[in-house]
């Protein structure tokens, strides 16, 4: 596996080694010792999976402490633009985001630490899967509106399909006063 540290501390893109032959392919998507040696020494306690039609945008979501979650995200079918926003107040990259193209053919993944907002836009029909370092807790969930003017994220979709719940999320300014 290749682990690539991004410009935001703790946010890591991962490319597995893929073995292909006439039968198909095989790769290791997670191995705790390898991940720990590369800066991801966390126990994952919950796995989630969703299907999204092309054009669907989900996010930006996060959970507050004590239920904050780190996430290991990837698509197992299709392509998605994945976005992680640094919401750690003492971080030098607070309020900055990083975009990734998650592609089922590449099988690339992103580790998103606790303290980040997260969302994705389905470029194609996609199955999105992620491992979490903490369990979901409804009372701890929060989020930032997908089209926040201060973040100005280019989701690469002209007219995204967004849930009613995600359409009424707060702005970055309302949540963090910055």
Question: Tell me: the pLDDT tens digits for 63-87?
Answer: 999 999 999 999 999 999 999 999 9
Rounded distance, CA 27 to CA 17, Å?
Answer: 6
Q: What is the pLDDT of residue 170?
A: 96
Tokens at 104, concatenated: 């089922």
Q: What is the residue-averaged pLDDT of the chain?
A: 96
Contact 116, 86 (CB under 8 A): yes
Residue holding tokens 């006063």?
Answer: 177
The structural domains of the chain, with segments of one domain joined by +, span 2-176
Q: What is the pLDDT of residue 34?
A: 95
Q: What is the pLDDT of residue 178?
A: 62
With a cut of 80, say whether residue 147 has pLDDT above it. Answer: yes
Q: What is the pLDDT of residue 167?
A: 96
Residues annotated as catalytic (active site), given as ranges = 61, 130
Highest CATH level, class, for 2-176: mainly beta
Q: Which of 94, 80, 112, 135 is nearest to 12 (CA)?
A: 112
Q: What is the pLDDT of residue 18?
A: 94
6-50 pLDDT per residue, tens: 999 999 999 999 999 999 999 999 999 999 999 998 899 999 999
85-120 pLDDT per residue, tens: 999 999 999 999 999 999 999 999 999 999 999 999
């Amino acid at each position: 596996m290749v682990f690539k540290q991004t410009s935001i501390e703790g946010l890591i893109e991962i490319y597995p080694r893929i073995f292909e032959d006439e039968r198909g392919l095989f790769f290791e998507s997670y191995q705790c010792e390898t991940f720990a040696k590369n800066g991801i020494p966390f126990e994952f306690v919950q796995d989630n999976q969703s299907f999204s039609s092309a054009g669907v945008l989900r996010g930006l979501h996060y959970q507050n402490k004590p239920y904050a979650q780190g996430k290991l995200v990837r698509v197992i079918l299709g392509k998605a633009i994945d976005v992680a926003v640094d919401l750690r107040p003492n971080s030098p990259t607070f309020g900055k985001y990083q975009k990734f193209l998650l592609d089922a053919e590449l099988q690339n993944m992103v580790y998103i630490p606790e303290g980040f907002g997260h969302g994705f836009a389905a470029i194609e029909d996609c199955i999105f899967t992620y491992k979490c370092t903490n369990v979901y807790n409804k009372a701890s969930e929060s989020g930032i509106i997908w089209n926040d003017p201060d973040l100005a994220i280019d989701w690469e979709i002209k007219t995204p399909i967004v849930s009613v719940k995600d359409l009424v999320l707060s702005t970055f300014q309302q949540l963090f006063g910055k």
